[in-house]
Structure formats: structure tokens, C-alpha cells
Amino acid sequence: MFDIDRFAADCRAALAERGNDAIREVVRRAVSEPGKIIGKLGEQPCAFADILVRAPDLTILNVVWGSRQWTLPHNHRYRAIIGMYGGGEDNIYWRRLPEDSKGRVEAAGAASLRRGEVTVLGRDIIHSVTNPLDKLSYALHVYDGDFLSAEGKSCWDAETLIELPYDAALVSPMFGQALASK
């Protein structure tokens, strides 16, 4: 059975090493056994986000992406480790336009994650996410700090790509409000 306390302790130990390989391996091990995670956290009927751990040094979220769910471009201000334990997500990576007074961004790359895969996003990464599937997708999101109260986060308007103050309900309307209220 997936043990949240043990997983959190393993994440903390790996993050203390400061290298990406150690934390990637901890998350990879966890998501390699999706049945154990679902057995502990439950199977969800629709988009869902839950805070498993929230502390000054660590945030762990259980994120269930709805069919075709998306987010606005946004940043985290913490390193993010994303491990898929079901379905998939497509990420677009963005970069700030040099010398743009409105803080606009442009697409700079992309990556797809599928069940069992893990990625590490640096503290300054700007990304948007889409679940490209017609079914739910399941992920563990691990941050090396209190992501929910991080200062200086931003999101970018979908049409204009102009920088805005971070608003969880705007970034991901399907579950941003739920996380913002916790």
C-alpha cells in the first residue's frame, strides 16, 4: 500500500541531496505501482486535486486531470517533480519575451508524460498543461517548498500571453478553486 508519510520522508531525503536524479527516482518508484496509489488515495470519478502534504519544505499534491483539462501558462517558484500514475499530460514550456513591458511569453518547447514517467521542472520554469486524453489522468506533484503560498508566482492570459498575478482559479478552473480554498 502507498504510504504517504513514508513517501514524504523519502522525498525530503532525496530533496536534501539537491540533485534531480534522487527525487526523480523516489517519485518514479511510487508511480510505477499505480494500483497501490489508487488503493490508498481512491479512484476519482472526475477532475480532483488534493493536498497530501503541506509544509514549509514540501508540498505533495494528488492531481487527477479531467478529460481534455488544461491550465494557463504559470510558474511555481519551486522545483516541481511530476510523476504520472495513470493517463498522461502534455506540457508546453514558455519563455519570457526579452524586454517586453507586459511580461509576455512565447512557446519554447514541449514534452509529453505518460503513465510511469517523471519529469523535474526547475524553479523558474513557466509551463502549461493539457490532459490530451478522453479519460482521467493521475499524477503526483511534489514541490520543494510550500507551493500553495509561494510569493511571486504568475500566470499568463491565454489570449494575450500577458503576465498576471497568480490566481489558482484562473490557472486551472476545474480544480484551482478547490486548492485555493485549502
The single-letter code of the amino acid at 65 is W
Q: Which residue has the cell 504568475?
A: 154
Q: Which residue has the cell 522525498?
A: 11
Residues 6+ apart with CB under 8 A from 102: 160, 162, 163
Whole-model pTM?
0.92
pLDDT grade, residue 78 (50/70/90)? very high
Residues 6+ apart with CB under 8 A from 32: 116
- For residue 19, pLDDT beyond 90: no
pLDDT grade, residue 175 (50/70/90)? low
pLDDT grade, residue 172 (50/70/90)? confident
In Å, how far from its chain's centre is CA 75?
10
